[in-house]
Chain A
Amino acid sequence: MGSGERYRSGSELPLTGNLDECREEMTELFGETKDLRMEDLQIGQKQAMLLYLLTITDAQLLTERVLQPIGRLPVEQSVASVDEFEQLCAKMLGGSAHVILHTNQDAVQKILEGFSVIVMEGVSAAVAIFTEGGGKRGIQEPTTQTIVKGPKDGFVEDLRTNLSLLRKRIRNHKLRIETFTIGTDTGTNVCLIYMKGIANEGIVEEARKRLQDIRTNAVFETGNIEEFIADKTITPFPTVYSTERPDAVSAHLVSGKAAIVVDGTPFVITLPTVFNDFMIAPEDYYQSFMMGSFLRLIRYLSFMFALMLPSLYVSVITYHHELIPTPLLISVISQREGVPFPAVVEAFLMEVTFEILREAGVRMPRAVGGTISIVGGLVIGQAAVEAGIISNTMVIVVALTAISSFVAPYYIFSISSRLLRFGLIVLGGVFGLYGVFLGLMVMVGHLCGLRSFGVPYLAPIAPFIMKDQKDIFIRLPVWASKLRPQMLKPDSAVKQQESESPSPPPVYPSERRGKRKSKGDQP
Chain B
Amino acid sequence: MKISDVKELLDAEVLCGEENLGHDVFSACGCDMMSDVLAFAKDQAVLLTGLVNPQVVRTAEMMDMVCIVFVRSKRPSEAILKLAEASGIVVMATRVRMYEACGRLYINGLRGDKLKEHV
Q: Do A and B bind each other?
A: no
Spell out A's residues near B (CB within 8 Å): none
Spell out B's residues near A (CB within 8 Å): none
